[in-house]
Amino acid sequence: MFLLFSALLVSLTHSCSDLIVGKTASATGHPMFSYAADSRSLYGDLHFSPAAKHDPTVDKRKIYEWDTGLYLGEIDEVAETYNVVGNMNEFSLAIGESTWGTQRGGTFFEKDEDKLGKIDYGSLIYVALERSRNCAEAIECITHLASTMGYASEGESFSIADPNEVWILELVGKADLEREPDDDELVAWVAMKIPDDCISGHANQARINKIILNDETQCKYGKHTISFARKHNWFDSQNDEEFDFAKAYGPVNFSGARHCDARVWSFFKKMQIPGMDDFADYVKGDHTKQRMELYYKLPEGMKVSVEDIEEAMGNHFEGTILDMTETFDVGGGAWSCPYRIPPLSWEVEGKTYCNERPIGTQQTAWSFIAECREVNENNPLGGLFWFGTDDAATSVHIPFYTSVKKLPQCLFDNSVDLNHFSYHSMFWVSNLVANFAYTNYKKMKPEIDEKRRDYHNYFLEEVKAADEEISRIARDESIDAAIDYANALNNEWAEMLCSEWYGLWIDQFMRYKDFAMLTPISEKRDPLVEDMHYPKTWLDLIAKHTGTHYLLNQPANDKKSQ
C-alpha cells in the first residue's frame, strides 16, 4: 500500500490543486478555476509578459525549465504574442496545472542529453498563453510543442479555460525507444471538456478515465495514445470505448487516493454534491475502491461564486472524516492548527503513519482564481485574475485586469525573493500573518477570516464600479486610456492590501503576547490581559503522557515529593 510513498513525497513538494467550475455552474456566468502553486522553493510574485510583435524568421523564444531554470533550448517566435498577467492573457484564456508523476511512459528530462526533452510543463503554459486566444488553440499549442520537441516534465494535468468553456488536458511523455516507427508523437495525451453545468478538479493525480470517441467538441486525444497503451499492456481491451487514460498512464495508489483525490473530494463535498460519502473508504486510501467521476452536476439551484472557490482553496477537510482541526489530534497542538510538519509519512515501531494533505497548505507560494469574463464593449478588458500569495487560507486574492501593462511593486520586484525580505512584499507580509497565526490558530484565524471577507467584498464593489468606468473610458476616450486607468487601480489595490495586511500582523503580534491576549482599553490605560489557557482535551493529553510527573497529590512515602 505504501510502495509509492517516497516517490510521491518528492512530487508533493511541488504539488498543486485545481478547482474547476463550468460556465452555467458559476454564479458569475463565466467559467472559473483556481490554482495553488504549493512549493516551499517558490517565491510568490506575479508573472508578466507584455504583448509584442516578432519576426518569426529571426526571433527566437528561449525555453528554461520552470522549476530549475535549466536552459532547454529555443523555439521560433510567432508574429504576435499576447499580454499575459499571471496565468491569464488579454483574451481571458487561463491555464493552470498539477503534476502526477510518471508511473507509465517516461520523461525525457531524466534521460541522456541526446534524448533530453526541449520543453517543460511551465514553459508550455506561458508559451500557450502568449500564443493562444481560446481553449482549442491552447490545447493545439501545448500538444504540438510537446509532441514534436520532446516533453521535459512528468505526467501533468492542465486546466484550460476561456470565456466559453473549460477543459482538462492530461499529458505524459513516451520513452523514445518504445514507440512504433510510425508514431511521431512524443507524448500521450487526452483532453476532456467539462460540461457547463458541472464542477471538476484535479490535484496531482491523473483524473480522466472515460473518453468520448469521434467528437472533438467534447474530447480530443493523441492519435497513438490508445494504441501505445495497448502495446505496453496498460490497456488490454480491443474496444477503444473502454479506454481509461488515468488507469493506463497514471494509475492511482494509496497516496493518489488519500493525498491527492481526497482534495478534489473535499471540494465536491463542500459544494454538496450527492453521494460523496460513498467514497469515504477511497479517500482514506483504499485505492481499490471505485473512483469519483471526473465531473459532477451541482444540486438544483446551486451556483459557485468566487468566494466559494476562495473558501474551498483554504479547506482542511473541516467537517469530514479527514478533519484536521480536532483538538484530540496532538499533531495540531493545543490550539488546533490544521497544518502538520513534513514529511507526509513516518514510522513508529515498524508501522507507517501519514498526515493528511488538504487543499489549504502552509507551503503555498501563490494561488489564483481565474474568472474568464468575455471581452466585449461592456467589458473591454475581459477577465479578472484574482491573485494571492502564501497560504490560501489566510490570504486575500486581489483582482487584476489582464490587459494591464504595469504591475505593482509589492508583487513584481526583482530585488525581493526567497533570500531577500521586504515589508513591502505581499509575499513576505502574507507569510508574517500566516506563520504567526499557526501559533494560536483557533483564536487568530477567525480574526483573519473576518478581514479576508471584508477585503473580498471591498474588491467586489471596487470591480463593479471600475468595470463601468473602464467601459466609459474605452468608449469615450480610447482602450489605451482604459488600460492606464486599470493599471492605476490595480497598483492602488495591491499596495493598499500589502499595507493593510502588514498592519494586521502588527495588530495581532501586539495583542497575542507571551501566551496572553491583550485587549486595548484606551491609549491612557494599560490593556486588559487575559491568559490563554490550554483546552481540557490538551491537558488530558499532557496528564496521560507524563503520568505522575506533574501530579501534586503524590503518596506520602514518596520522599522526593516532600
Q: Are strands 516-519 and 198-202 parallel, antiparallel or unpaired?
A: unpaired
Q: Using one digit for the tens of pLDDT, what is the confidence trace for 92-147?
A: 999 999 999 875 655 544 444 555 678 999 999 999 999 999 999 999 999 999 99
Is pLDDT above 60 for 6?
no
Please state which of the ranges 19-33, 237-251, 423-437, 548-562 shows the lowest mean pLDDT: 548-562
Q: Using one digit for the tens of pLDDT, what is the confidence trace for 179-216?
A: 777 888 999 999 999 999 999 999 999 999 999 999 99
Q: Please report the pLDDT score of residue 562 as a whole number.
A: 43
In the chain, % of residues over pLDDT 70:
93
In the chain, % of residues over pLDDT 90:
79
Q: Please report the pLDDT score of residue 177 as a whole number.
A: 58
Distance in Å from the first CA to the final CA of the chain: 54
Question: Before 535, cis peptide (omega within 30)?
Answer: no
Spatial contact of 102 and 172, defined as CB atoms under 8 Å apart: yes
Q: Please report the pLDDT score of residue 3 as a whole number.
A: 35
Residue the block writes with cell 520522599: 559
Q: Nine-digit cell at 37?
A: 502553486
Q: Please report the pLDDT score of residue 555 as a whole number.
A: 61
Residue the block writes with cell 519576426: 55
Q: pLDDT-based confidence at 554, cuts 50/70/90?
A: low
Q: pLDDT-based confidence at 527, cuts 50/70/90?
A: confident
42-66 burial string, b = 16+ CB within 10 Å, else e? bbbbbbbbeeeeeeeeeeebebebb
Q: Using one digit for the tens of pLDDT, what is the confidence trace for 366-394?
A: 999 999 999 998 899 999 999 999 999 99
Residue 535 and residue 538: Cα distance in Å, rounded? 5
Q: Which residues pair with 49 in a beta bridge?
A: 84
Is pLDDT above 60 for 441?
yes
DSSP 8-state assignment for residue 379: B
User: For helices 306-313 and 262-270, what crossing angle results, to 10°?
Assistant: 140
**DSSP string spanning 160-205?**
EE-SS-EEEEEEEEPPGGGS-TT---SEEEEEEEPPTTEEEEESSS
Q: pLDDT-based confidence at 276, cuts 50/70/90?
A: very high
Rounded to a whole number of angstroms, the CA Rg of the chain reads 25
> How many of the other CB atoms lie within 10 Å of CB of 387?
29
pLDDT averaged over every residue in the chain: 91
Is pLDDT above 60 for 1?
no
Q: Please report the pLDDT score of residue 60 as a whole number.
A: 96
